[in-house]
Structure 1
Amino acid sequence: MPRSRFAGSLISPKVDVYIDMGNPFLNHTVDAFLKIGTVAATKTVVEETYGMITRGSVSSHNFEKSLKKMCKEGAYWGTVAGVYAGMEYGAERIRGTNDWKNAMIGGALTGALISAACNNNRDKIVMDAITGGAVATASEFLNYLT
């Protein structure tokens, strides 16, 4: 009886760009902005391409709209990631230790800052700070598992 077998490995590509800003805090912030901003922009490109294909309308107007959305999403998520990376690094430097609590502090501060920039509702800001801290802490714990 014929058999087939697949042998190989999938290795994710690693692209690392390092921009030295002359300060470790700025280095962490800019690095996170670029990496996550690129992911968000790429996600938007794929979504918009899929939308154009399913609608069957590829035009320069749709392309321009997609490009603006890509830049907006990349800048927004890059900014959130940059703020988080900076806050986590700052917490690490102030506390003098590298543990999950820095992620919690960084996530809570980021959630509060981003929320405060978008609205004036105190309860919403507190809830977003709690959510940011919880998501960052969960992410840190998941990193320890792998």
Structure 2
Amino acid sequence: MPSSRFSGTLSSPKVDVSIDTGIPFINLTVDGFLKIGTIAATRVVAEDTYHIVKKGTVAGLYVGMEYGIGRIRGTRDWKNAMIGGAVTGALVSIATQNNKDKVLTDAITGSAVATAAEFINYLT
């Protein structure tokens, strides 16, 4: 029976930084600090990126709703923002929780915030 074999190695890039203070204990402390700091910074960047994308998704949903409602209604006014905010608030609430009262509250809140933002936009 024919057989095949695959051989290879997978390794991540390795960067070594060496700081020599002349005191072994301080050298190990600085080395540990640099490694832990790098890991912590990477974690913060990953978490912040996730939260930014998550918020951008909600904003994108709202913009899409407002645009779609404007196309359906055939006009561009504050009512599109109100309806788009209500639909977005309700959809986000449904996606995160199943409490009917919370869905209604989030829909009203989304509608109020979107309408207020639209009115402020018209004032400036």
Paired residue for 2:55?
A: 77
Q: CA offsets, 1:114-135, max 9 Å, x none?
A: 1100000010011000000000
Paired residue for 1:66?
A: 44
- What is the letter of the counterpart of residue 79 of structure 2? K
Greater relative contact order structure (CA < 8 Å, 6+ sep): 1
1:111 and 1:68 map into 2 onto residues whose CA distance is 26
C-alpha deviation, 1:79, in angstroms: 0.1
| Mapped pair 1:124 → 2:92 | no
Largest Rg, 1 or 2: 2
C-alpha deviation, 1:76, in angstroms: 0.7
What is the DSSP-based 3-state SS (H/G/I as helix, E as strand, rest coil) of the residue aligned with 2:115?
Answer: helix
C-alpha deviation, 1:65, in angstroms: 1.5
Gaps of 5+ in 1: 1-56
Q: CA offsets, 1:45-100, max 9 Å, x none?
A: xxxxxxxxxxxx97012112211111111111110010000000011001011000
1:68 and 1:117 map into 2 onto residues whose CA distance is 23
Q: Normalized against structure 2, the TM-score is what?
A: 0.70
C-alpha deviation, 1:137, in angstroms: 0.1
What is the DSSP-based 3-state SS (H/G/I as helix, E as strand, rest coil) of the residue aligned with 1:59?
Answer: helix
Paired residue for 2:77?
A: 99
The count of aligned residue pairs is 90
- What is the letter of the counterpart of residue 69 of structure 2? A
Gaps of 5+ in 2: 1-33
Percent of matched pairs sharing the same residue: 58
CA root-mean-square deviation: 1.3
Task: Map residues 1-146 of structure 1 onto 2, 5 A cutoff.
Answer: 59-146=37-124
